[in-house]
Amino acid sequence: MNLAWILLFLPLAVAVANQLALKKTGLAPTLSVASALVTFVIAVLLLGENETSHFAWATVGEFSINIGIKLDQLSTGMMIVVTGVGLLVHIFSLAYMKDDAAKARYFTGLSLFMFSMTGIVLADNFIMTFIFWELVGLSSYLLIGHWYEKDTAANAAKKAFLCNRVGDFGFMVGILMLWGITGHLAFDHMQAGLELFQKANPAICGGVLSAAVLCIFCGAVGKSAQLPLHVWLPDAMEGPTPVSALIHAATMVAAGVYMLFRLQLTLGFANFEGLQASQVIAWTGGITSLVAALMATQQDDIKRVLAYSTLSQLGYMVMAVGLNSGEAAMFHLFTHAWFKALLFLGAGAIIYACHHEQDIWKMGGLLKKMPITGITFGIGTAALIAVPYVTSGFYSKEEILSAAYNHDKILFGIAVFVAFLTTFYMTRAFVVTFLGKTRSDQADHAHEVGPLMWLPLIILAGMAIGSAWITGPLCAIDPRTHAQEHAHGHFVILGLSITALVLGLISGFVLYTGKNQDPLSIPLLKNRFYIDGFYDNFIVRYFQDAFASLVAFFDELFIDGLMVGGLSRSAESVGNIFRRVQSGSLQGYAFFFGLGVILVIYFTAF
Amino acid sequence: MATLNDYLLVSGLLFAMGLAGVVLRRNIIIVFMCLELMLSAANLSLVAFSRFNPAPNGLPDTNGQMLVFFVVTVAAAEVAVGLAIIVALYRARQTIHTDELTSLKG
């Protein structure tokens, strides 16, 4: 158990040391990488442990808020993802951020993120989850805004933080509701509390619980960037690419899914199944996956393509949780983390080699110039589009498709169509970036990146293929057997998903091979369904600005005018009255002095 | 034979003259002299009380006379310091007119 506490607090200690002492020395990156390595080793050692321990953090009367660690198959498995991808991203960053002036700040941010993410994964109660939930938001803000001199980066950081706050407000309300219903905050006691509540109030239990779950889902909508709060994730690509790989593809955005599944386990599958809320969750996920995949087909920035693809895959996972198949979601989360980190780091290597060119139409022909990056990126693409039997993505996507098939045929249709779109846009990105001839000087001068960069790529490529076979600890969370579900409709699912794959590949290759510009132009998709524009021009202008001017009016009139200004003005006017007494005339003083003496005599004598 | 009231009347007149001089006159030396006048008024009333309030053995009350001696010595010291201040003031400002000494005006 002590190991787990080290696992939690080591990254924090490193972040503090980096920030306070090592900023100037150049040791910060090394220390962060070492801490990532140690946490990975600890995570491997802890795999499969089953224990909890906690201490009281704040106690009020009988009630106390605990900081605790809950080790079970879910959390230890998730820690492998967090620390594993984290370690590789740390190593990749050593090379990627080599020439950055603020390396120490960057690595401090990474360590802070590792601490916060570990806290979410290991938390044994909802309050602790919430605290670390906010901390990941903060570290994500710091890392997106790493290049804060750029307006776009600063704005993206702000946008991410605000979107997350909107969701987190619901999350907080949901936690309090759940606490009210069950009387507990710790995961271990919630189910018992829920059953008591169910016995006492059978009539309202379902509705109240649904509302609580939906509020908690708000948190996941913010953090996992589901519709309608998805807008921050593509913008978050302004941050350094390794950060996008770690935070905005593999771990933090998956925290929403993880937390939903933790909720599902905590309440019990049976209690979760009948809720209205689960329908809402499933449809939110499904629609997000569809909309994001559509948007991805028309993006030109390689990181944005990947960002929308992440959105779409997160939509898959959320949908699976909503369909009461959290284990499928976690399986997909696990495999997705590796191959999406691979794709992002590959994109990072390309961007690094092309001197920070991100437009895929200015690349081309990179496979010959950067063979290792090209091949590993290809493997990542294959995993994402779920090439049958050889890639990990295939198995996890099958799980989700079969969950959808068994619960809701419409969602299944959406999921299959998304699979086709995924294949299409990834083929497009791969063909345009790596095949054909080079279309710009930057791409002409590109050459293979150094070993610190390609080594993580190769390891991740291995995981992109192999992670499906070493996920034993993660998929065994739910005792229900997958084989049974697979048997029903297995061939329909397999056939449809392979059809989607082949169609996507063919259309991608036919449309984009040898092209110098996009043959398709769909403004609606290119402009992301105008959702960002709608937020900027409508929500921001009519709600935020109106509210802001109201607040400003109140502030100026009451706070400034009456409270602060009023106090100072009254002090000034009283002072003005009394300064007349200080006339400077000697005789005046003498006169008042005499008057005073006379008054004193009068009052004492008579 | 003058009564206590006569002495007190003269003392009060002296004090009123002194106070009027302090309040009305502009020359600081005159103000200073008027201050001395007020002290003398106080001395006069003390001596008068002492004379008209004899102790049981028939002698005048020595307390009042002691107080007068103190007042006279302190006044002498005060004159020395006060005149020195006026001389210093004149050297600094080239004036001893109170209307022109207004740097304490708020």
Contacts of B101 in chain A (CB under 8 A): 584, 586
* Band of residue A196 on the pLDDT scale cut at 50, 70, 90: confident
pTM above 0.90, yes or no: no
Q: How many residue pairs bridge chain A and chain B with CB atoms within 8 Å of each other? A: 37
The tally of CA atoms less than 13 A away on the side-chain side of residue A64 is 10
B34 occurs within a structural domain:
yes
Q: What ipTM is given for this predicted complex? A: 0.77
Transcribe A284-300 into DSSP letters.
Answer: HHHHHHHHHHHHHTT--
Strand (E) or helix (H) holding A52: strand A51-60
- Phi–psi pair at A200, nearest 5 degrees: -75, -40
Instruction: State the pLDDT at residue A481.
Output: 43
Q: What is the pLDDT of residue B7?
A: 93
Q: Which pairing describes strands A63-71 and A51-60: parallel, antiparallel, or unpaired?
A: antiparallel
pLDDT at residue B82, rounded to an integer: 92
User: Do A495 and A380 contact (CB within 8 A), yes or no?
Assistant: no
**What CA–CA distances, in Å, run from A82 to A44, A251, A467, A468?**
11, 6, 14, 17
- Alpha-carbon distance values, A219 to A171, A321, B88 (Å): 4, 15, 81
- Return all residues near B6 (Cβ < 8 A) that are at least 6 apart: none
Testing the interface with A: which of B22, B86, B101 to mutate, by most A Cβ within 10 A?
B22
Chosen for mutation from A585, A592, A595, A601 (greatest number of chain B CBs closer than 10 Å) is A585
The beta-carbon neighbor of A584 closest among B19, B25, B105 is B105
- What's the pLDDT score for residue A95? 85
For chain B, residues with pLDDT lower than 70 are 106
Least confident piece of the model among A259-263, A282-286, A462-466: A462-466
**Binning pLDDT at 50, 70 and 90, where does residue A591 land?**
confident
Residue A480 clears pLDDT 50, i.e. is over it:
no
Return the pLDDT at B83: 92
pLDDT at A450: 80
Q: How far is A594 from chain B (nearest CA, A)?
A: 8
Phi first, then psi, for residue A56 (nearest 5°) are -75, 130
Report the pLDDT averaged over residues A28-34: 87
> Tokens 């390609």 label which residue?
A454
Does residue A222 contact residue A236 with C-beta atoms inside 8 Å?
no
- pLDDT exceeds 60 at position A414: yes
Q: Please write the tens of the pLDDT for every residue from A299-310.
A: 888 888 889 999
Task: Give the pLDDT mean for A506-527.
Answer: 76
- Arithmetic mean of pLDDT, A551-565: 86
Cβ-nearest to A584 among B24, B31, B103: B103
| pLDDT for the residue numbered A1 | 67
Residue B105 domain-assigned (yes or no) = no
The mean pLDDT of A71-81, rounded to a whole number, is 85
Cβ-based contacts of A591 with chain B (< 8 Å): 23
The alpha carbon of residue B28 is apart from the nearest alpha carbon of chain A, in Å, by 10
Provide CB contacts within 8 A for A121, sequence distance 6+. A75, A78, A79, A82, A255, A258
**Mean pLDDT, rounded, for A349-378:** 84
The answer, yes or no, to whether residue A252 has pLDDT greater than 50, is yes
Task: Give residue A484's pLDDT band: very low, low, confident or very high (50, 70, 90).
Answer: very low
Residue A451 has pLDDT above 90, yes or no: no
Is B40 inside any structural domain?
Answer: yes
Measured between CA atoms, how close is A540 to chain B, in angstroms?
53
CA distances to A82, A90, A415, A492 from A96, rounded to whole Å, are 20, 10, 36, 45
B contact set with A (CB within 8 A): 19, 22-26, 28, 31, 98-99, 101-106
Domain count, chain B: 1
A583 vs A319, residue with greater confidence: A319
Q: Is residue B25 part of a domain?
A: yes
Long-range Cβ contact pairs of B61-68 (< 8 A, separation 24 or more): B68/B43
From the CA of B70, how many Å to the nearest CA of chain A? 22
Query: Residue B43 is which amino acid?
Result: N
* C-alpha to C-alpha distance for A413 and A404, rounded to whole angstroms: 9
- Find the CATH number of the domain harbouring B12: 1.10.287.3510
Q: What is the mean pLDDT of residues A86-115?
A: 87
CB contact under 8 A, B98 and A586: yes
Whether A488 shows a pLDDT value over 70: the answer reads no
Report the C-alpha gap between A433 and A425 in whole angstroms: 12
User: How far is it, in rounded angstroms, from Cα A192 to Cα A35?
Assistant: 39
Mean pLDDT over each residue of chain A, to the nearest integer: 84
B36 located within any domain? yes
Angle, CA B102 vertex, CA B97 and CA B106 arms, to 5°: 165
- Select from B98, B99, B106 the Cβ nearest to the Cβ of A582: B106
Distance from the A605 Cα atom to the nearest Cα atom in chain B, whole angstroms: 17
Provide the pLDDT for residue B106: 65
Range of the domain at B13: 4-100
pLDDT of A482 strictly over 70: no
A554: part of which helix (H) or strand (E)? helix A546-554
**pLDDT given for residue A486 in this prediction:** 52
**pLDDT score for A471:** 57
Residue B21 lies in a domain: yes
How far apart CA A250 and CA B80 sit, in angstroms, is: 93
Q: Where are the alpha helices (DSSP H) in A225-251?
A: 232-235, 241-245
pLDDT at residue A7 is higher than 70: yes
- For chain B, say whether A576 makes contact (Cβ under 8 Å): no
A580 touches B at CB < 8 Å: yes
Distance CA B86, CA A549 (A): 65
Is B78 part of a structural domain of the chain?
Answer: yes
Do the Cβ atoms of A258 and A78 come closer than 8 Å?
yes
CB neighbourhood size of A320 (10 A): 35
